């Protein structure tokens, strides 16, 4: 059975350990479904997730609580009769043990749910195996983050979220004299990848894909040498919990200082000159960071919103071009 995940912070390793096939929803075939009109304030990604759940009643869709719209999206999917929709409580705080306990308990609850749908018991050895495979794939992809073209890298990460494999295309030589940019924000998936081309046409290049479905989504890291508090080796389940809780980086965290701490060295190392903040219309969590990103890193920030239809409007193309032109003319300021 396919289990579709609405967030990269819902561990696919755990799903595989139950003998099921996890797929990042944003990387799935037939996603997004046909674009439909959005009511005011509705996020296109959340709406697409609901429609997908409505249309795939035999599959399982795991919604995440990290945003209003996905929380209520699950409510709606269940109201529409989707019996295989599960809402995973992803904690937003991270500085107390409570957050880890919530995450651990939710994984256990998810496991029960998966087993009720025919999943197998996740034996430790199976889980460890999945963690090792995942860790290897993540490492391989991260190593290629700056070597591949932005579009190829995005495609490779999407493939990882679709089937767990990491195939990295050959390195691409970055054209000279392109302004290095960071793309920061929410989920960015295949229909929106022409954005990379638009950026390059304008004279920029995404050297840091810090979207929810880009490099940031590879953050979870599994420390098999860790020990539990009682000095016994940590179980694979412990490794999974710590691997996500200690390394997850996203805007919804409170405080979201981890996001800024993650961005800072990468912006500096890749000599990023400007940030493109990308989010779906209706996403307050990302939109609110516009000014803070500017103030924190001292870099120009361009805000791009996505609606139901992919692609930039001519107005947005002009803004992007103007943004890059401004950077071309400006004295470089590095984060």
Partner 1 sequence: MIYAGIDAGSRAIKAVLFDPDGQRLLAAGLTDQGVEQERLATDLFEKLCQDAGLARSQIAGVIATGYGRNALRFADTTITEITCHARGVHQLLPATRTIIEIGGQDSKVISLEDGGRVRDFAMNDRCAAGTGRFLEMIATRLDMNWETLSALASQSTHPAIISNMCVVFAETEIIGLLASGQPLPDVVAGVQNAIATRVAAMAGRHVSPPVSFTGGVALQPGMARALEQVLNCPVSVVPQPQFTGALGAAVLASERRKGKV
Partner 2 sequence: MTTAPQKISLAQWDDRYEQLCRNGMREPAYGGPLRRHVVRDLDFRLEQLQFDNSAAALRLWNFLLTENARLHQARANGDQLVGTMKDLGTVPVMAYALPGLRAFYPDGAWWTPCLMENSDQLLQQADAMGIDASFCPVRAMLPAFENGEHFPKPDLLICSTGAVCDDFSAIAQRLEHLGHPIHWWEMPRRRTPTASEKACTLAGQLVAPRMQVDCVQDELQLIAQALGELAGKTLDDAALSAGIRAANQVRRLLGSLRQLVYSAPAAPLPALEMLVAEMLAIHFCSDREETIAVLTSLLTEARARVRLNESVLAADAVRIFWVNPVADLRAMNLLEELGGRICGTDYMFTHALDLISEELPPLEALARTALADPMVGPTADRALRIARECQAGGAEAVVVSRIPGASHCAREGEIIREIVRQQIGVPVIELEIPPVCDALLPALGSRLQALIETVRARRPR
Rule CB under 8 A: which residues touch partner 2? 39-43, 46, 65, 67-69, 71-73, 75-76, 78-79, 87, 89, 91-93, 95-96, 98-99, 101-102, 105, 109, 112, 252, 254-256, 282-285, 287-292, 295-296
C-beta closer to partner 2: residue 75 or 328: 75
Of residues 169 and 194, the one with the C-beta less far from partner 1:
194
Residue 128 CB neighbours (<10 A): 19
Question: Which C-beta is closer to partner 2: that of 2 or that of 75?
Answer: 75
Smallest gap, in angstroms, from Cβ of residue 250 to partner 2?
Answer: 12
- Stated as kind and residue range, the H or E segment containing 318 is helix 314-329
96 binding partner (options partner 1, partner 2, none; Cβ < 5 to 8 Å by kind): partner 2
Question: In the complex, which residues of this chain contact partner 1 (CB under 8 A)?
Answer: 36-40, 80, 307-309, 311, 313-315
Taking the complex as a whole, how short is the minimal distance between the CB of residue 287 and partner 2, in angstroms? 6
- Between 271 and 291, whose beta carbon lies closer to partner 2? 291
Which partner in partner 2, partner 1, none is near 91 (CB below 5 to 8 A by kind)?
partner 2
How far apart are the C-alpha atoms of 73 and 298, rounded to whole Å?
Answer: 36
Checking 192-198 for CB contacts under 8 A at 24+ apart, the result is 192/306, 192/310, 192/311, 193/151, 193/154, 193/155, 194/310, 194/311, 194/312, 195/278, 195/304, 195/312, 196/149, 196/150, 196/151, 196/154, 197/151, 198/312, 198/317, 198/320
Nearest by Cα to 211 from 74, 7, 32: 7
Which residue, 89 or 168, is less far from partner 2 as judged by CB?
89
- Count the Cβ atoms, other than its own, within 10 Å of residue 67: 26
176 interacts with, out of partner 1, partner 2, none, CB within 5 to 8 A per kind: none
Q: Using alpha carbons only, how large is the chain's radius of gyration in Å?
A: 20
* Shortest distance, position 81 Cβ to partner 2, whole Å: 12
CA distance 278 to 194: 13
Residue 41 CB, nearest approach to partner 1 (Å): 10
């Amino acid at each position: 059975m396919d289990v579709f995940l609405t967030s990269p912070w819902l561990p696919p390793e755990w799903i595989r350990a139950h003998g099921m096939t996890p797929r990042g929803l944003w990387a799935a075939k037939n996603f997004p479904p046909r674009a439909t009109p959005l009511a005011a304030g509705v996020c296109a990604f959340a709406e697409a997730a609901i429609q997908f759940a409505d249309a795939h009643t035999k599959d399982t869709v795991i919604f995440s609580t990290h945003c209003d719209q996905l929380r209520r999206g699950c409510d709606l999917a269940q109201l529409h009769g989707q019996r295989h929709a599960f809402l995973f409580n992803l904690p937003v705080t991270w500085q107390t043990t409570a957050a880890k306990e919530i995450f651990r308990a939710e994984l256990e609850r998810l496991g029960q749910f998966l087993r009720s749908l025919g999943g197998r018991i996740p034996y430790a050895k199976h889980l460890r195996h999945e963690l090792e495979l995942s860790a290897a794939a993540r490492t391989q992809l991260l190593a290629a983050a700056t070597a591949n073209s932005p579009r190829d890298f995005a495609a490779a990460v999407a493939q990882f979220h679709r089937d767990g494999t990491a195939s990295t295309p050959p390195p691409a030589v970055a054209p000279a004299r392109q302004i290095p940019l960071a793309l920061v924000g929410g989920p960015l998936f295949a229909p929106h990848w022409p954005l990379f081309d638009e950026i390059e046409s304008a004279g920029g290049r995404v050297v840091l894909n810090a979207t929810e479905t880009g490099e940031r989504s590879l953050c979870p890291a599994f420390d098999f040498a860790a020990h539990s508090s009682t000095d016994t080796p940590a179980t694979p389940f412990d490794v999974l919990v710590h691997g996500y809780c200690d390394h997850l980086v996203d805007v919804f965290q409170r405080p979201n200082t981890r996001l800024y701490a993650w961005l800072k060295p990468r912006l500096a190392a890749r000599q990023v000159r400007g940030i493109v903040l990308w989010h779906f219309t209706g996403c307050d969590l990302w939109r609110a960071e516009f000014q803070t990103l500017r103030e924190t890193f001292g870099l120009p920030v361009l805000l791009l919103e996505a609606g139901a239809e992919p692609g930039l409007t001519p107005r947005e193309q002009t803004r992007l071009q103007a943004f890059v032109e401004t950077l071309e003319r400006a004295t470089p300021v590095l984060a």
